[in-house]
Amino acid sequence: MSHSRLHPLLGRPITITGLGTYVPEKVVTNDDLSASLETSDEWIRQRTGIGERRIAGPGVCASDLGILAAREALADAGLEPGAIDLVITPTISPDQLMPATAARVAHGAGCDNAGAFDLSAGCAGFVFGLAMAAGQVASGVRDNVLVVGAEAISRIIDWEDRSTAILFGDGAGAAVVSALPGGTVSSDGGAARLGILGFDLGGDGSGADSLSVPAGGSRMPASCETVQDRQHYLKMNGKEVYKFATRVVTKSAGAVLAKCGYAVEDIDLFVPHQANLRIIEGAVDKLGLPWEKVYTNLQKYGNTSSASIPLCLKEARAEGRLKDGDLVLLMGFGAGLSWGACLMRWGTGA
């Protein structure tokens, strides 16, 4: 392919300069769950690929996990907390409705002068956060933005509902987005641009009720009835979400590749949101991507929503599966319904 490509992300070149993650120590296996729910290790593995998940200890909330991931990402980027201009926290399990969980994350990570806000885009939250950060840094409005997916999903799970309780886990993942001095590393020896290349973000609010926490907001304010009816827990139409996810992953992946002038064959690593192995396998099959180019770790963590992609990126890098110059496709999808794809050429040019 030619190296003179049009880049849909205008402005100065930007990239991810640091990654950080945190998962709680406590491991809950499928067998542990089947002690209190009518389910089995075999059923869960067969339908979802999940083997175990991490669950935060008593009193631990999303910002506690996010702060630890944020600190690690700052150290990884070699940045002092004061260098961060903005903290964005995608989350489906915020500490509170208000203030923003991001405010506590920013404070806990020492980024006290940074603006901070939460972002609600379901399990597409991390990619949406990355897109907001990218726009800010590419345009020169900010220099360093910290995106911190922070999830204590176990707090909004109905542990009596076997169709959802088996799927999710707690965790946090953070990325620092900064300007790139300008590098020319590419996996094929050419002069392809490093860093974040482009995004495809989408939504379909007609599916809003397919995956939601019905009560606790202005739509269904908290009352004795909402508590009795278990309406403060996550509810999901599994089949609808499954169909939606397999459909949008291929569509959105194709859209971002086309925008950036690449083809499926150019992808070195595909990092999808870790919802369900069957969804990922179906989408990868439709895309025509070899399985060696796909990263998964949901076997260990379940669905950690906005933390899942950074959790994969950091592990992939540590295992040598994510290298400078690699063309990486990130793909998030979830409540909203919402989806987001990001294409980037990994590396800082340093």
Using the minimum distance from each CB to ligand COA, give the nearer residue, 166 or 185: 166
Site string (161-200) toward ligand COA, x via CB under 6 A: -xx--xx---------------------------------
Using the minimum distance from each CB to ligand COA, give the nearer residue, 48 or 212: 48
Q: Which of residues 271-310 bind ligand COA (CB under 6 A)?
A: 275-276, 279, 303
Binder to ligand COA among 55, 74, 123, 255 (CB under 6 A)? 123
Assess 39 for contact with ligand COA (CB under 6 A).
yes
Tokens encoding 189: 């020896």
CB of 296 to ligand COA, least distance (A): 13
Site string (224-263) toward ligand COA, x via CB under 6 A: ------------x-xx-xx--x------------------
Site string (48-87) toward ligand COA, x via CB under 6 A: x---------------------------------------
Cα separations in angstroms, 110 against 71, 105, 137, 148, 332: 8, 9, 20, 14, 28
Determine the interface stretch with ligand COA among 42-50, 132-140, 216-224, 261-269 (rule: CB under 6 A).
Answer: 42-50
Q: Please tell me which residue in 273, 276, 312, 342 is annotated as part of the active site.
A: 273
Cis peptide before 310 (omega within 30 of 0): no
Q: Is 123 a catalytic residue?
A: yes
Q: Which of 65, 86, 80 is nearest to 20 (CA)?
A: 65
Enumerate the active-site residues.
123, 273, 303
What are the residues binding ligand COA (CB under 6 A)?
Answer: 39, 43-44, 47-48, 123, 162-163, 166-167, 236, 238-239, 241-242, 245, 275-276, 279, 303, 334
